[in-house]
A and B are shown apart, each in its own frame.
Chain A
Amino acid sequence: MTETIRDIISVAAGAWYHLPLGILIVGVTFGFMPGLVLNLGVLIYPKDHPRRKELIAELHEVPYFKRAFWVFYALQLAVTEGISARIDVIRDRRFYRLCDRREAVLQDLNRQLANFTGDYHVEAYSKSRNRLCWLVVKDGKVLARFVIPGIRVHNIATGKPFSIHLHLWGAIVVLRQKLERFLLRRKVARVRNGHQRG
């Protein structure tokens, strides 16, 4: 009997010895960790996403012993919702960069074209691996450089695209790219090699 009581006392003393550690573990699990994990978890959302602030603010309303579960569900939400929001942001950013780049190229082409004629402007272009280095008029005079095949050049006054009777070889090439490719190469080669007429 005495030994049993002694055993109970020793177990209680041992438990008492471990009590601070237990309090620390409980405090960390239910007090400190949920906030830390949630603050890290909401970083999945893009920077200005309202859910970031919202989830952190709501955590303060959750009772301490339910916070671990709340954070679990919030993380689940952050993974599903946040990743798709991130993908949207990346897609938008790429789209706007592409728009900016295209706009810059158009502006550049129009600026080059405006040096020679005010009647035409470049409306759009399409990407191509074949890069035309020279845009020449019929008499052999170089109008502009670094024009990309696939450009549609429209007359500002009429709104119509270039037609074959106009003087820009480049525009003819652009409009009739497949038919005139062979001719264009010969013309461009001649211009490059300095065999210009006129």
Chain B
Amino acid sequence: MSSTWLAASRPSMIYAIYALLMRKTHALVQVAVTLLDDLDGKHWGYDTAKKSSVKPNVMYGIFNRMLAEGWLTDGWEESAAGKKRPARRYYQVTDLGAARLGAVLAEASRDVRFASLKLRPGTAQ
């Protein structure tokens, strides 16, 4: 997984330009770190908000933008039958998303605004 992230952290020129278009905020960078922490796994709303320390209302807005851009795909949990609750919605990072989130992190690591954040996946606050 680390090799994937390394590959993603060296974006092509197009990805780098594209990453500039999405406004980089602390919340976006923190969510990106959390998502890249588990590239192939399913990400759930509350868990992601908790891991990334981003407020849920902000995080869902970021998820919406990522879904619209094709960085994430979504789906519904299948095995919620015996759990006495409705099925949860999950989000998965696409290949495109992995590359662009890597570009976002690479950009953020060079930006002094994000110097206080731990930007390597696996170090989510």
A53 with B87, Cβ < 8 A, contacts A61-B46, A61-B47, A70-B46 known: yes
**With A and B bound together, what is the CA distance between A80 and B46 in angstroms?**
19
Binds A, one of B54-62, B100-108, B109-117: B54-62
- Chain A residues with CB below 8 A from B64, complex form: 81
Does B86 lie within 8 Å of A62, measured CB to CB? no
A 78-126 contacts with B by CB, 8 A: 80-81
Q: How many residues of B contact A (CB 8 A)?
A: 20
- Chain A residues with CB below 8 A from B74, complex form: 50
Does A54 lie within 8 Å of B45, measured CB to CB? yes
- Chain B residues with CB below 8 A from A62, complex form: 46
Interface residues on A, range: 10 to 19
Most buried by B among A56, A61, A80, A81: A61
Beta-carbon nearest neighbor of A75 in chain B? B57
Q: Contact check: which of B56, B61, B87, B89 meets A70 at CB < 8 Å? A: B56
- Chain B residues with CB below 8 A from A80, complex form: 57, 61
Does A54 lie within 8 Å of B56, measured CB to CB? no
Any chain B CB within 8 A of the CB of A191? Answer: no
Hey, which bits of chain B sit against chain A, CB under 8 A? Answer: 44-47, 55-57, 60-61, 64, 74, 77, 80, 83-89
